[in-house]
Structures are given as C-alpha cells and as structure tokens.
Amino acid sequence: MTNVLADLFKRSDASEIDKITYLISGTLAPSYEGLVLNIAERTMLKIISRAYGVDLVKVRAFYKEKGDLGDVCFVMAKHKASNLSVSNVYERLLRIAQEEGFGSQERKIEQMSKILADLDPLSAKYVARIPVGRLRLGFSDMTILDALSYMLKGDKSIRKEIEASYNVNVDIGKIVKAVKEKGLRGISRIEPVPGTPIRPSLCERLPSAEKILEKVGKQVAVEPKFDGFRCGLHIWMEGGKKVVRIFSRNLENTTAMFPDLALAAKNIKVKSAILDGEAIAYDVKTDKFLPFQETAQRKRKYNIEEAVKKFPLKLFVFDILYKDGKSLLGLPFKKRREILVNILKNTKQGTVLLTKQNIVTDADSVRNLVSLYLKEGLEGAVIKKIDAFYKAGGRGYHWVKYKKTTEKGVADTIDCLVMGIYRGRGKRAGFGVGAFLVGVQEGNKYKTTSKIGTGLSDEQWKELDARVKRLEVGNKPKEYEVEKNLEPDIWVKPSLVVEILADEISRSPIHTAGLALRFPRLIKFRDEKNPDQTTSVGELTNLYGMQKTLVQ
C-alpha cells in the first residue's frame, strides 16, 4: 500500500496533489476544519437513483444485497470513460459541502447526482463512499508520511523528519504539497500556526519514583495530572478581533462545545499564542474536581448552555508553544514556563489557570506530591524534564506520568479498541452484550489482548450495547488480526476506545498481540481518543516488563 501511494504521489502534479491527498483520505480538508458534505446514507440512495435513472426501490434492494454504496454505483454506472480531473471533482464536491440555507438539500442531491453521472464506474465507486465516510482504503496519515519518504528515497529513512513537520502542522495536504514541490526543504521551515492544531506531547511510563528521577533528571518539575479533556488553546487576531480555537487530543475543533473557556481565553494578555492544557469539571459549591464521567458530559453538540451551568470547567494551562508570532517549541521547558507565568499572572484568574508546579530532587517528594494530588481527586502527577524541548506528537522521557497504579502491578491503564462483541446470556441477554473483544495497535493493524466479560456495572453494559449498535459492521475489518476461536458474534468498526485497568499482563498464545490482560475492568469510554491513539503492542510490552521490576 505504501508503494502504491508513493507511486501515486510521484505521478501527481503539484498543483492538485493536496486535493488528491484529501480525497484519498475521504475528506475535503483537514478534519479540524469541520468541512463535511453532510449527506446521509438514505440521501445517497436517492442521489444514485437520480444519477443513473434507476427506480429508488431497485436501488435500495440492490444496496441491501451489496451492502456498499460504491459497489452499487460500480454496477449501475454507464461504462464510459471520464474526462474529469481530480481538481474538477474536488471543486464540485467543495461547492456541495458549502451549500447552506433554504433548498440546500435538494441542490446537494442534484449536484452530487451529476458528479456520479459524469464519472466512469471505478471513479464513481470511490467518490460515492466519500459523503458517508466509508471510503475504506485502509490507511492513515502515518501511511501517507511513509509514502512521502518512499517517494523521495525509496525507503522509510526520512520518515521521522517528515513526521516531525506534520506533528507541528497537521494539515496533511499541506505537508504532501510542500514535500512534492521542494522535498525536505519544503517542510524544513514549517512552524506552528495559530488555528492549525499541533499534535500534543505525550507521557512515558516508568515503574517507580526512583526510576523516574534516574531517567528524567536529578532535578524535575512535578505537576498534577488532570483527568479531563486535553485542550490545545489557540489565540490570534483577525480583522481587529481576538479569535480563539480549542482543539482536542485527537485534533478535533471543540470550540463550540466550550464557549466558557473560549470567552475566558480572550482575556489572556497576548496578541497570539498556542497553549497546552487540560480542562476538568468542578463542583461550584465545594470547588472539588468531578470524576471524568461527569467532565465527559461537557463534550456534546446540543444543550451546551445547560451543560456549561451544570458542569463548569477549569482549564489548567501547563505549557506554551507559540507567542506573538514566534515558535517556542525549541526553548527549554523552564524558559517556556517562565513565559507562561508572566502571561497568566497578568490575566484575570477564574476559568483559565496556571497549573501549579513544584521543583523537587528526591523520590519521597515525588510520592508525597502524588499522594496530595490523589487526595484532591486527580489522576496523579506528571514529572517533567526542566530543560527539555516540547516534543510535538511524541512520547518520551521528557514527561513521565505517575499514577495510582505506578508502583503496584501494571504501571498504567491501557487504552484499547473495541473490536467486537459477544451476545449475552441470562441476565446479560437484557444488555445485548455479554462480553467484548479489545485490542491494541501495531502499525496499521489491531491485535487482540483481552476478551472482557466482567468488571462492568449494569449501566456500563447498557451503554456499551447502545454504542456498538451504531458501529456494527457485517464483516471483520481488514485492520483486525483475530484468532479464529476468538471471533466475536458481531464486529465493530474501528472507532470506540476504552480505558482498561488490569491486575497483570501475561504472555498469551491465544491473543494476537502476544500478551493478555488479567482481571481487566472498564474504567471509562475515551471519546476524545481516535483508534490510532490506543496503546501500542510495544507500549504493552514495556508495561509487561515494568511489572517485573522490583521497586527498592
């Protein structure tokens, strides 16, 4: 697949390679821009009926048989050559996405049906899948980065350099275009831009406070670890007004969900900035933090005003990556912290707050602070290297997390992908789900690590059933590697991420990850995470090794 993409990029013209990249990703723009065609499956059936002059009843029946809109178009389209260019199709799809107001739905149907009618069967097969988000080509942005390296060097030797630029500017079309036009020189000067999300820095794990100090440094910064929503806070001036955008851990634009945070951010005394922080709900009467399950209720598209009142948020800012036109990524953390302190001390306190920090030099001080944070209802602490640069999109020992489980058994919870479900029996029959299969990632594949049938409350079983009903697919997704005797009753498309706590990780000849979770239980649903943000097989292997480390 990587070679096919590399060949495509070689043969693509620089003037439309960004458009090609978006279309093969099933989009018209980076996801954070929120530009979608907004055409439902039922509407697509009407479009196909109109495009090919086939009765709608017949189209529905054929779709029920085939199960794929693309396959329906491939059979129904007239076998003719198409002289449409990528740019032409892209621009026409873009106009459809921008349609709004009275009569917009009918105009979308008319325009989309004309596009399908003008395309050859093979092109129609894939274009028809884009509006409903089912292109199913089976690759990610990471595969595209690999392909760019293959395009230039014939191997993955410069993948890390390309990815470093992507981590700072996640517009994959822009990255591909820059590499196509000027090679590595095209991305050498890519810097943060307010309004374009940066992939957040991530924490490593170590088995004890002593090991953390040994690896991170003799003098470290200890900060509380919040169990909330990661927020990339972007501020800039536009037309004489201050604009604020908030991006989630998975680079989604969540500004509309958090109007209280956006309003408060306008008080920060900067012309432009990119800040990194975590938002967590709190009880107004007691000022205590609320559990993640309650914080999670703020992530919604409707009844937002009601949610703001019921679950007010505090945004704790712990880093600054950009200020007034200059990137700060290459500055040591200690210097970035000084800049952040100077900014926020001049800002009216309330909703946006500076994360507290202690500089310590011994393991007991680390443990004491962690104990304090746990009593406050937090997850633990993050221990930071004081002279480290900001590692966008990277996990490393510049940041190490220390949680309640760090020195007991498995050092961390595991983020898993729900791959399938097994039907319930007895009392579980009423829930619809009796057990579920989860896995972790390795490259573009997901490998099983646990079949979970216990450790959930009745409410969690019901919620799981409601969620997977929207995600059921007829056949096993090609990204999944599952032993035959573990195949579930129903397959679930790669979408739902859950946080799992286990007592132990053991070797497994049954699970394709080679490791199994013993006594697993569901902690929470991780709606803010994409499937590619699950724990990797490599990380799981490291956790397996850590549990065998004897803490002195």
CATH number of the domain enclosing 478: 2.40.50.140
CB burial of residue 287 (10 Å; 0-12, 13-18, 19+): exposed
Confidence of residue 47 (pLDDT cuts 50, 70, 90): very high
Cα distance between residue 66 and residue 63, in whole Å: 5
SS3 19: helix
Same domain, 345 and 434: no
Residue 358 included in any domain: yes
CB half-sphere exposure, 98, CA atoms < 13 A: 8
Amino acid (1-letter code) at residue 111 = Q
Residue 419 and residue 393 in one domain = no
7-45 tens-digit pLDDT: 999 999 999 999 999 999 999 999 899 899 989 999 999
Mean pLDDT in the chain?
92
Beta strand 358-360 with 380-385 is unpaired
Indicate whether 381 and 426 sit together in one domain: no
pLDDT for position 347 = 72
Active site residues: 225
- Kindly report the number of other CB atoms within 10 A of residue 548's CB atom: 8
Domain CATH code at residue 72: 1.10.3260.10
Query: What is the pLDDT at residue 551?
Result: 38
Alpha-carbon distance of 526 to 546, in angstroms, equals 24
In a domain, 4, yes or no: no
- pLDDT for res 330: 95
Range of the domain at 419: 414-546
Please write the tens of the pLDDT for every residue from 100-117. Answer: 999 999 999 999 999 999
User: Using CA of residue 466, residue 471, residue 475, residue 477, what is the dihedral sign?
Assistant: negative
DSSP string, 210-274: HHHHHHH-SSEEEEEE--SEEEEEEEEEETTEEEEEEE-TT--B-GGG-HHHHHHHTTSS-SSEE
pLDDT over 90 percentage in the chain: 76
Residue 284, domain CATH: 3.30.470.30
Per-residue confidence (pLDDT) for residue 428, from 0 to 100:
55
Phi, psi (deg, nearest 5) at residue 111: -70, -40
- Tell me the backbone φ, ψ of residue 421, rounded to 5 degrees: -130, 155
Same domain as 424, residue 399: no
Any domain includes 207:
yes
- Are 333 and 457 in a shared domain? no
Rounded to an integer, the average pLDDT of 75-95 is 91
Contact in structure between 149 and 156 (CB atoms under 8 Å): yes
Is this prediction's pTM over 0.75?
yes
Count: domains in the chain: 3
* Joined tokens for residue 461: 């079983």
Is 185 within the bounds of a domain? no
pLDDT tens column, 51-70 = 999 999 999 999 999 889 99
373 and 301 both lie in a single domain: yes
